[in-house]
Structure 1
């Protein structure tokens, strides 16, 4: 069977750009925008789940296309450099963030800032911490999401090999591992006294489920059938999530067991999949006219999502420091908005500048 690369789905670019803005706002701790005006404030999941699922979807489709055109080695030849670039990006971001956190501790000053964010080991024994970081098993706070992508990408070839031969049964090992995490608390041991964030034994299930649907979309023209009953069920889950989150905001209910992010609690996973299905069911037009600079910039942020995320980490941490020093101020909220616009500008510049675009090639694209 001859497979053709499908036309680019503009919805994915816009969605990933919007998700990047939400991630940036949520990391600017102290901001009312990040606390109340993002989807995580009104549900049991957030942008992280959508990114992991969408990355699996895209890479599952890309690997399948490469393998069908040039054989399994062609798929591996495409995936390998993506993993290497992502690992390199993680290490560069980790070292740069360490420098920023240590500089903040010494100059702001914020005594104990490095220890609070889990960077003490690097400050005390960098000859041990850096090799440990290279294994992806030492993760200071907010340094855990990129390793999840790397570990999941390493599983992708074997998973798609199983899918080629055993169909839906290829999902069984992944789901069994996920259930083991939920039932017995399995997790990957961390180094340097730090827990591995985003337990990869659980989060791989979301990535590989996305890869399964990405493969189906390539082979059969669509990932899943759309019907009223499925949409109704998804909307009920989202409504229940909003109700539970509201009760949590009011102090009437503790939902920490339902929305456990570390181990991707079943309710959290169900909510994220329901949100993905509802968006696809309600927004069926693949090609969206990108009229106006804002929509074009948002789509560019989606295409350059990895590096927009990385730049956003530094901007949001700087804003979080300001919120801690100044308390809530209206002008700090204005800076959050300006920071989001700056990220859109960075993404647009990356696409308009050939040299910069080559320099920020996206391993997940």
Structure 2
């Protein structure tokens, strides 16, 4: 989760649809003035899913991606992080050099790090205060925040070094690490030798899976839940895809579309979301452990292929010029994706608040759960809309200052007719 916060910034594109000489439809992204709303929309949707999934025993979580595919919203977020990183920083690496590009990625890593530490402290001491007030230590023990109450100095010190990663607060360290270590090399290589970058990434992912390569974490003996040695492969694939999208069309290959669709159906049948319905628990077609471990730590092949098939289908079957992407509800979701860091942090706080609220009122019923989900999502959408409006205001003012004649000529056309 929070991609958590993917680089957001200057991903300004005007998607075009072209056709190959053989008549097969292809999609490509050409530089322009407008953002690719598909990226923002699916990143915003992933944020909403993360909020819903993070509320314990949430009935609405039965309808999020994790119940219909081997992957979940976290994979979506990291894959789009690589895609958007190329759009945001790739040009800097190409035109201004490696040092200038590194400065930008380091700056972004610093921003995410500061937000992570602030979020960690807010949640830790906030939940500790609530646990003390209601005499219920579960609020700090359930997500392994009790070390902040028992040994605050050492807990904060280990949090600063990213070794202390409580549950629900462990995806931002992945972004910080990747932006510090992997992203500079990736973004420098992806425009020069994309297949070399992809080969190195897949090799590192395979080594991590074969030898259980991971970084240590205090809360988890197995290490980081979002293991950077494995999860970097998603960022890399996203970055390579973005680079090819900028240079040449992504083809709609019929047999590949069929294969991707077949795999998506296979994952759906295996996950058997209908088994969540009371009375249908024993109607699964395949045993849950038939494919081995699906633990997200090492991004097993089943999960990796699942998100790649869904990503390919979304890329080639959904045009960036789709009318529905400009509908108010879609724009509201896309606004969340445009401000992913802030909205992810808000979603985390809201999900923890929803958990406390439902626990204290005994809200196991459908009605209170629907209320907290609706209120949480509404607050996310409203905050994202406000952030978008605030960001657009200075840009509009600058445009008017730089082009006063054009603005003067444009005003009569927008004025109401008598």
Q: Tell me if both proteins adopt one fold, taking TM over 0.5 as the criterion.
A: yes
- Which residue number in structure 1 is paired with residue 364 of structure 2? 328
Distance 1:84 1:296 in 2: 29
- Which residue number in structure 2 is paired with residue 279 of structure 1? 314
Instruction: Pick the aligned partner of 1:133 from 148, 159, 169.
Output: 159
Counting only pairs closer than 5 Å after superposition, residues 145-184 of structure 1 correspond to structure 2 as 145-154=171-180, 155-184=182-211
Q: Is the 8 A contact 1:94 1:143 kept in 2?
A: yes
1:199 matched to 2:236: no
1:29 matched to 2:65: no
- Which residue number in structure 1 is paired with residue 254 of structure 2? 228
- Which residue number in structure 2 is paired with residue 69 of structure 1? 95
Counting only pairs closer than 5 Å after superposition, residues 242-257 of structure 1 correspond to structure 2 as 242-246=268-272, 249=276, 250-251=281-282, 252=284, 253-255=287-289, 257=292
Q: Is the 8 A contact 2:346 2:380 kept in 1?
A: yes
1:67-101, Cα deviation, whole Å (9 max, x unpaired): 22222222222222111101111111111110222
1:289-316, Cα deviation, whole Å (9 max, x unpaired): 6655423322211111221111011111
Distance 1:58 1:31, change over 3 A: same
Instruction: Pick the aligned partner of 1:213 from 238, 241, 260.
Output: 241
1:110 matched to 2:146: no
More helix by share: 1
- Which residue number in structure 1 is paired with residue 377 of structure 2? 340
Q: Is the 8 A contact 1:30 1:320 kept in 2?
A: no
Distance 1:123 1:193, change over 3 A: farther
1:246-305, Cα deviation, whole Å (9 max, x unpaired): 187535422483421122111011101111111112102346466554233222111112
Question: What TM-score, normalized to structure 2?
Answer: 0.78
Q: Is the 8 A contact 1:151 1:200 kept in 2?
A: yes
The structure whose RCO (Cα within 8 Å, separation 6+) is larger is 1
1:296 matched to 2:331: yes
Q: Is the 8 A contact 2:144 2:219 kept in 1?
A: no
Consecutive unaligned residues in structure 2, runs of 5 or more: 1-29, 396-418
The structure number with the bigger radius of gyration is 2
Distance 1:233 1:65, change over 3 A: same
- Which residue number in structure 2 is paired with residue 310 of structure 1? 345
Deviation (angstroms), 1:151: 1.5
Say which SS state the counterpart of residue 118 (structure 1) adopts: coil
Moved more, 191-200 or 112-121: 191-200
Distance 1:116 1:166 in 2: 45
Deviation (angstroms), 1:357: 9.6
Moved more, 174-183 or 271-280: 174-183
Consecutive unaligned residues in structure 1, runs of 5 or more: 359-365
Deviation (angstroms), 1:40: 1.3
Distance 1:290 1:233 in 2: 26
Distance 1:264 1:193, change over 3 A: closer
- Which residue number in structure 2 is paired with residue 361 of structure 1? none
Deviation (angstroms), 1:30: 1.8
Distance 1:53 1:100, change over 3 A: same
Deviation (angstroms), 1:9: 0.5
Q: Is the 8 A contact 2:358 2:368 kept in 1?
A: no
Distance 1:120 1:203 in 2: 28
More strand by share: 2
Distance 1:200 1:356, change over 3 A: farther
Q: Is the 8 A contact 1:235 1:278 kept in 2?
A: yes
Query: When the two structures are aligned, how many residues end up with a matched partner?
Result: 353
Moved more, 128-137 or 188-197: 188-197
Distance 1:357 1:141 in 2: 38
Q: Is the 8 A contact 1:98 1:119 kept in 2?
A: yes
- Which residue number in structure 2 is paired with residue 363 of structure 1? none
Distance 1:159 1:295, change over 3 A: closer
Moved more, 306-315 or 104-113: 104-113
